[in-house]
């Protein structure tokens, strides 16, 4: 049971890699004057190396353990905007912690729009490396069910970063006014 007021609960952005969680999370944090936490960045700081090197040197299991610990810790903090990695919601404990402590926005981008971004992502995302386009498409669709646990879904196709960030901040302000008027 969460005893933090709705207005103080942290916001978590979820969705497949590359949908814009980091970029949009930063913009939302700025608009709401909140601190931004990017879990991938925090993990990279801890190991002092890029994610792909962490995967190579320590393996995905260690990356996932660190990711889980950091998210469970971060989502208990108040007033943060948190972007989690695209695979974070594979872990039950991560989904459960975020659902019970935070407000979760699922950034939903269609496959057709996502594949336009592939060149921006392919070198830095270890999970994409060594896969052809059909295998990536399969991963994209296989991952969609894990994002079903959320409080609000935003379809981001053809929307610039600022418009998505505005939509999220406005819908939060509406919810705060309805459920916690003061
Ligand atoms: N709404 C948008 N319109 C166009 N390009 C975008 C939009 N949002 C993000 N991008 C671009 O897509 C790329 C991936 O964005 P970003 O790194 O924010 O994704 P992510 O969801 O955080 O990915 P990951 O899960 O791998 O951390 C970046 O180059 C970013 O500039
Ligand atoms: O979708 C994934 O499994 C990942 C997404 C990235 O955000 C990173 O967390 C890492 O590259 C793994
Ligand atoms: Mg990111």
85 CB under 6 A from ligand 2?
A: yes
Nearest CA to ligand 2 atom 7: 85
164-176 pLDDT tens trace: 999 999 999 999 9
pTM higher than 0.80: yes
109-165 pLDDT tens trace: 999 999 999 999 998 899 999 999 999 999 999 999 999 999 999 999 999 999 999
| DSSP E strand stretches across 46-155 | 80-83, 103-108, 152-155
User: How many whole angstroms from 8 Cα to the centroid of ligand 3?
Assistant: 23
47-68 pLDDT tens trace: 999 999 999 999 999 999 999 9
Q: Report yes or no: 75 and 82 within 8 Å, Cβ to Cβ.
A: yes
3-state secondary structure (DSSP) of residue 155: strand
User: What topology does CATH give the domain 6-174?
Assistant: Rossmann fold (3.40.50)
40 CB under 6 A from ligand 2?
A: yes
Nearest CA to ligand 2 atom 11: 125
* Residue 124 confidence (pLDDT): 87
**Residue boundaries of the structural domains of the chain:** 6-174
* Residue 3 confidence (pLDDT): 84
Number of other CB atoms surrounding residue 178 within 10 Å: 9
């Amino acid at each position: 049971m969460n005893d933090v007021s709705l207005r103080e609960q942290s916001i978590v952005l979820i969705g497949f890699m590359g949908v814009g969680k980091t970029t949009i999370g930063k913009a939302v944090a700025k608009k709401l004057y909140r601190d931004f936490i990017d879990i991938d960045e925090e993990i990279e700081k801890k190991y002092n190396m890029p994610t792909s090197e962490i995967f190579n040197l320590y393996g995905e299991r260690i990356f996932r353990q660190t990711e889980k610990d950091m998210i469970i810790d971060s989502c208990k903090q108040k007033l943060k905007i948190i972007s989690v990695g695209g695979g974070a919601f594979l872990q039950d404990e991560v989904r459960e912690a975020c659902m019970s402590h935070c407000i979760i926005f699922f950034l939903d981008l269609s496959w057709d729009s996502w594949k336009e971004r592939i060149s921006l992502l392919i070198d830095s995302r270890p999970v994409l490396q060594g896969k052809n386009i059909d295998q990536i498409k399969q991963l994209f669709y296989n991952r969609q069910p894990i994002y079903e646990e959320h409080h609000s879904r935003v379809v981001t196709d053809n929307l610039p970063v600022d418009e998505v960030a505005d939509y999220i901040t406005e819908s939060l302000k509406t919810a705060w006014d309805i459920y916690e008027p003061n």
